[in-house]
Amino acid sequence: MKLFITGGAGFIGSNFIKHILQKYPEYQVTNFDKLTYAGNLDNLADLENNTRYKFIKGDVADEKQVNEVLSQGFDAVVNFAAETHVDRSIHAGARDFVLTNTLGVQTILDAVRKYEIKKMVQISTDEVYGSLELEAKDQFTESTPFQPNVPYAAAKAGGDLMCRAAFNTYKVPVVVSHCSNNYGPYQFPEKLIPFFIFKASKDESVPLYGDGKNVRDWLYVLDHCEAIDLMLHKGVAGEVYNIGGNNEKSNLEIAKIILQELGKPESLITFVADRPGHDRRYAIDASKISRELGWKPKYNFESAIHETIEWYMKNQDWVKRIEERKAQFNPHLS
């Protein structure tokens, strides 16, 4: 299979490319990435001499570039490319988010239709559904209405709706995932888990928004990769699949776990002014992908978070190189 993967220099995309090349010895992967501040070819350094892997620098919102590459003949597209940082979408402006997360998706859909590509997987987020009550037990299902609260989530919802329209209008063979928060190696260190690891490891304060009780459903990145693999091979065109770890943890719990793992005191935790539009709780009902595609998460949170923390501690050079590359590196909370 010839795969066109966008945003493959980011966190989940780079894990997915490695997963695919390892699991399918005959597959070829073209990674198309704009290399924004979050794109990091260092994540894929071990593939430099792999003849089944090719990198092309490009922008998913650039129709000419996308068409030039997709006209070369691909069997399937997996779109990870996105502006992903909620705080940037709030404080630095939503324009790039709309360009990539909405217009970029439409640009790919048009090319998939034009070149009759057999499958497209659109990687989206549970954040499109908005927020759940903290004390409730409900979960997002595939039929929960979209109620995004921050520009990042609204721009992702725009892309997802264009997928729905492309399938219903033109039968473009697209499947859409809505996944919960991921953790694991190669995550850009402005996001909550790596950010807390680096702050704590330097004995710096670990800042929590609001009361720290906001809940996310944490999923190990390789479990997400396995779910995307199933959607790519078995997902039914026009369908939407929720993916989650059934593993709800508050940000405060995550901070405490990291501090404990690193042998640091809880006194490093500080509470800071809450994020505007901060969603209270996310929880995913992943029963559809489990029932229909046979997916279930394999990784146990306690051991996978331990390994993740160990990975960041062993790969501090990886972060140093990011910091050197980005003169204006300015981590925010996720």
Q: Which residues are known catalytic residues?
A: 126-127, 152
Pick one of 3, 4, 10, 197: the residue that binds ligand NAD (CB under 6 A): 10
The Cα–Cα gap between 21 and 39 comes to 19
User: What is the residue whose two structure tokens read 């989650």?
Assistant: 244
Site for ligand NAD in 123-182 (CB under 6 A): 123, 125, 156, 179, 181-182
- 3-state secondary structure (DSSP) of residue 176: strand
Residue burial 220-249, b: 16+ Cβ < 10 Å; e: rest: bbbbbbbbbbbbbeebeebbbbbbbbbbbb
Pick one of 21, 76, 78, 82: the residue that binds ligand NAD (CB under 6 A): 82
Pick one of 9, 77, 175, 257: the residue that binds ligand NAD (CB under 6 A): 9
| Helix-strand-coil split of the chain, %, nearest 5 | 45, 20, 40
**Are residues 39 and 114 in contact, defined by beta-carbon separation less than 8 angstroms?**
no
Pick one of 21, 28, 29, 34: the residue that binds ligand NAD (CB under 6 A): 34
- 3-state secondary structure (DSSP) of residue 309: helix
* Residue with Cβ nearer ligand NAD (200 or 228): 228
* Residue with Cβ nearer ligand NAD (200 or 243): 243
Pick one of 3, 4, 5, 6: the residue that binds ligand NAD (CB under 6 A): 6
What is the enclosing helix (H) or strand (E) of 32? Answer: strand 28-33
Q: Give the nearest distance from C-beta 296 to ligand NAD in angstroms.
A: 18
310-313: which pairs have CB atoms within 8 A and are 24 or more residues apart? 311/184, 311/185, 312/185, 312/194, 312/197, 312/198, 313/197, 313/201, 313/262
If one asks whether residue 38 binds ligand NAD (CB under 6 A), the answer comes out as yes
The Cα–Cα gap between 79 and 102 comes to 12
Burial class (CB in 10 A: 0-12, 13-18, 19+), 288: middle
Q: Give the nearest distance from C-beta 267 to ligand NAD in angstroms.
A: 28
Q: Binding segment for ligand NAD among 27-35, 106-114, 163-171, 289-297 (CB under 6 A)?
A: 27-35
Pick one of 3, 17, 28, 36: the residue that binds ligand NAD (CB under 6 A): 36
- 3-state secondary structure (DSSP) of residue 64: helix
Q: Binding segment for ligand NAD among 36-44, 167-175, 229-237, 318-326 (CB under 6 A)?
A: 36-44
Site for ligand NAD in 222-241 (CB under 6 A): none
Pick one of 3, 12, 193, 232: the residue that binds ligand NAD (CB under 6 A): 12
Site for ligand NAD in 238-297 (CB under 6 A): none
Instruction: Note the residues at the interface with ligand NAD (CB under 6 A).
Output: 6-7, 9-13, 33-36, 38-39, 59-61, 80-84, 100, 104, 123, 125, 156, 179, 181-182, 188
